[in-house]
Structure 1
């Protein structure tokens, strides 16, 4: 049975409490803000309407990138000459990317993986070899040298010795390729879970599956109503409210009846997952698609994923997935850019899509990537702040900036504590059965996830807390085994356990399936996890 109070009891027990800070949204930025604020001595409540890391934070291209993409534009010299302010913004964002890259690699190496990346240079392309040299030289100067880029420019004969470069199209006009080291998040969801646990250790209260709605200010604190499972509800107050809810920010800010101006412009990024021959493993390509936008083929364990799309999104924020239009675009671009890979619809194993919470700016037709921390006081929402366009890779810096704003006008009610940012690793020396062969995540870890990491669903364990789900196709027996373990902890009846299994299968088909084709997610037994790979 459950080793801690049910979530509904946790919620009702909070009724009437006053917090220094209420953080709404449990993605990478919200979890990091809660961690930093709690460690600074503030009393913090973190509320997430779904599971932690269930939104855009889990749907990105998973790159801890070096900042090169901020200089990518059609005719970049002309573009930045015409828009010098945008060049300065790109320079600032690239500098921040390099700093974040360095910090995460040095302090959380277990959460990132280095990969060999190639950027093809074409004689008829938008970038000359000297421009590529200049861009990487600039990036090198923007960051310390202890996490190097390992940049080298390969001439055409040498570049074509690399299988991933040899698979590219337009080889007749290939002039060479830039080779450099990029880093990839092993799975960004775990960064959020780690941040939640850090925040709780520092004294924060963290609630998932709890919707928070803002109300009016009362005696210097804003009313926030909490709504959770089993009709649980409570009213708390926050001296400051941080709307860190990503693509849902505009909805959160409209709740009090004083509708703030638009803050979010969402663009959808879709990906396809494929399996390539062994010689491609560990190699990725960064190039430019037909729309002049970044496009990647990225290694992922023994798989690769390709994308993203970048289209304005006005659809259901709770039902984001790759549709037929996305799939056709991704296949068309892949056939044009990587004809040597031979990717066709029937070779697509899985898909996923997310929506980027970019900053709304009429001057940018697809939203601005400039991160902004908005003070909603001038719009009638005193003590409310929202952050837009904050990528996963900058979550720590975002949390610090948010805490800096707190310090400027609010003294913490408690004592500060130190943060180590240590990754939470699977339980060691466990004789428990693994959830799948070679997974590095056991049934003991499942129990731990339920008891200590707020896991309440199969999707929450098999994808977000273990990181295994996107790269392994669980059999019915494996799913049932994990469901039985969770059910014993959560008190599920047999009927509830079967309902949860059905929900899990529907969710992965909807979120990760291939449009207009029965998803192979839980029936393909040839996609095993390579031995020695730990989640």
Structure 2
């Protein structure tokens, strides 16, 4: 079994040029990675290239919920609510270490978007369509019960609330865990390799020319089928094709802000409507409260979207509207992130009205592209893509198995039942404590990495605590590099730990010794050290900037 390690990257770069793959995937977000896992578990040979880090785009910039899309009921997208609702449960079953049940409160106001009876009926339909288990079905609350759940809510006009289950996740970690399982099954995944052009046999695409973003070296990756799962970059990749044909995308930006709970002491996750009729989440997480999202047209840099003044002010006003006793100001925003949604254009519809449904199309040259969709539905999207690939490969005599990802536990989530996760975390926490970690560190390791805790135990025995850098942090670094293909400091701070978003003071405190550790592991020269520091400086400035 190959380790998902930077140490294997150079060898994989050589190997992908020597092999002809059944499927070559461009795009290392959750859709592309999920597609790689589906394909490799059906017996296909798979290569994937991604121009940034895995989950470097939209897949690390969502609301961090595996949710069924309650608001889509208002748009009568019944099929999508049903399908995504059921997929929500599948994601939880296969990844309980990165997907956790989160009771959501929907406050109901006299003049609000949702009425008491329409909310009750809507949530009942929602539970039915999503196949929600009996113990997790919606409850309707009185005004008093609603305020007991969250005393900060606006009291004027409040008449009750709907209480229902969604699932909280770490989108980037979910993507990485799916990637680790795909590699375990035999897929070759390469980050920081940008698709530069296509290779043709007459008028059919048979491969991709990739460029290593570290060295500038070009590699040819050839395959029977080429999948374009590049999210916001789908159209730009389609334009590299000989015959330009496909859907037109509509990019919208979603922004989230993070506030310390000393300022916004939210106790309960809330889904509320704003004065302009949109819906916004406010969610407590590890001593912070994050709020989002916006939904506005976007025409800027796809690689580096940021939260601007207007975005932040909109969310602050939404907080003040629903939580009038919370005195939040611009200076209280500790961190923020912005993500781009690659939606399929629908004439006459605004950003919030466009469907989040996914759609697959195949160009005359054979390029398979997928756009739209939601984080929650990644597995189903992957299944649909590989169904199309398999049908053609079978015509050529290939022996392709059925889709098995519906019941396939991803890396770290290999429990018989998701309910085993809690007991497992308790047991492993005690083991990590006996190994010398604090309770907080031990719980963090066991709960974050799930059944991969065994690897962390072994790794902890091999490394020593150095002056200025605790064993816990060295363990996080070593595991991320040797088992999760971390290649840069921002990979670690943003997508492997989430610290830049939810624990920015920790980043500032440990940044220098962590950078030295990376320098030692990768044997970085001065130029690479400076490049990593500049990238981190830029991210810190953008995240903290009070415009």
Same fold at TM > 0.5: yes
User: Are residues 1:337 and 2:339 paired?
Assistant: no
Among residues 271, 293, 301, which one is paired with 2:286 in the alignment? Answer: 301
Q: Tell me if 1:422 matches 2:454.
A: no
- Give runs of aligned pairs for residues 174-253 of structure 1, distance below 5 A: 174-185=158-169, 187-215=170-198, 217-218=200-201, 221-228=205-212, 229-253=214-238
2:377 aligns with 394
Aligned to 2:536: 504
> What SS does the corresponding residue of 2:97 show, helix, strand or coil?
helix
Give the drift of 1:155. 1.4
Task: After TM superposition, give the deviation of residue 415 of structure 1 in Å.
Answer: 7.0
Counterpart in 1 of 2:49? Answer: 47
Shift of 1:395: 1.2
CA 1:276–1:383 in structure 2 vs 1: closer, same or farther (change >3 Å)? same
Change in CA separation of 1:370 and 1:474 when aligned onto 2, cut-off 3 Å: closer
Q: CA deviation at 1:173?
A: 1.4
Q: Select which of 156, 159, 162 maps to 1:172.
A: 156
Contact in 1 for aligned 2:358/2:381 (Cα 8 Å)? no
2:424 matched to which residue of 1?
A: none
Alpha-carbon distance in structure 1 between the residues aligned to 2:255 and 2:264: 25
- 2:487 aligns to what? 456
Alpha-carbon distance in 2 for matches of 1:434, 1:5:
22
2:129 aligned with 1:142, yes or no?
yes
State the distance in 1 between where 2:11 and 2:124 align. 56
User: In 1, Cα distance between the equivalents of 2:470 and 2:135?
Assistant: 31
Deviation at 1:323, TM superposition (A): 0.8
Matches within 5 A, 1:120-135: 120-135=107-122
Give the drift of 1:440.
Answer: 10
Matches of 1:100 and 1:441 in 2, distance apart? 35
Q: What's the counterpart of residue 21 of structure 1?
A: 23
Of 415-424 and 52-61, more deviation after overlay is shown by: 415-424
Specify every segment of 5 or more residues in structure 2 that has no aligned partner in the other structure, as ranges: 413-448
Cα 1:148–1:46, aligned 2, differ >3 Å: closer, same or farther? farther
Alignment of 1:481 onto 2:468: no
Out of 72, 86, 94, the residue aligned to residue 81 of structure 2 is: 94
Q: Conserved in 1, the CA contact under 8 Å of 2:68 and 2:88?
A: yes
**How many Å separate the matches in 2 of 1:3 and 1:93?**
37
- 1:526 paired residue number: none
- 8 Å contact kept, 2:127–2:138: no
1:440-461, Cα deviation, whole Å (9 max, x unpaired): 9641332232223221111111
Contact persistence 2:68–2:81 (CA under 8 A): yes
**Contact 1:270-1:354 at 8 Å conserved across structures:** yes
Q: Secondary structure at the match of 2:54?
A: coil
Q: How does 1:57-72 map to 2 (within 5 A)?
A: 57-72=59-74
CA deviations 1:218-271 (Å, max 9, x no partner) are: 176523111112121122322211110001100011012432244321111111
What's the TM-score once normalised by structure 2's chain length? Answer: 0.82
Change (3 A) 1:147 1:470: farther
Distance 1:434 1:157, change over 3 A: farther
Report what 1:523 is aligned to.
Answer: none
Which structure has more helix as a fraction of its residues?
A: 2
For the pair 1:404 / 2:387, whether they are aligned, the reply is: yes
Distance 1:484 1:340 in 2: 44
Q: Does 1:515 pair with 2:542?
A: no
**Range with bigger deviation, 289-298 or 147-156:** 147-156
Q: 1:326-405 to 2 correspondence within 5 Å?
A: 326-366=311-351, 368-377=354-363, 380=364, 382-405=365-388
TM-score (structure 1 length as normaliser): 0.84
- On the 8 A contact 2:181/2:411 being kept in 1, the answer is no
Residues 281 and 433 of structure 1: CA distance in aligned 2, closer, same or farther (over 3 Å): farther
Aligned to 1:104: 91
> Which of 33, 42, 64 in structure 2 is aligned with 1:31?
33
Paired residue for 2:240, among 255, 263, 269?
255
RMSD: 2.9
Task: Tell me, in whole angstroms, the C-alpha distance in 2 between the residues paired with 1:428 and 1:202.
Answer: 21
Structure 1 spans left out of the alignment, 5+ residues: 73-85, 517-535
**2-side partners of 1:3 and 1:373: how far apart?**
33
1: CA distance, partners of 2:278 / 2:469: 37
Are the counterparts in 1 of residues 360 and 369 from structure 2 also a CA contact under 8 Å? yes
Distance 1:142 1:40, change over 3 A: same
Give the secondary-structure state (helix, strand or coil) at the position aligned to 1:105.
Answer: helix
Q: Deviations over 1:377-410 (max 9, x none)?
A: 3xx3x32211111211111111111111112211
What is the DSSP-based 3-state SS (H/G/I as helix, E as strand, rest coil) of the residue aligned with 1:356?
A: strand
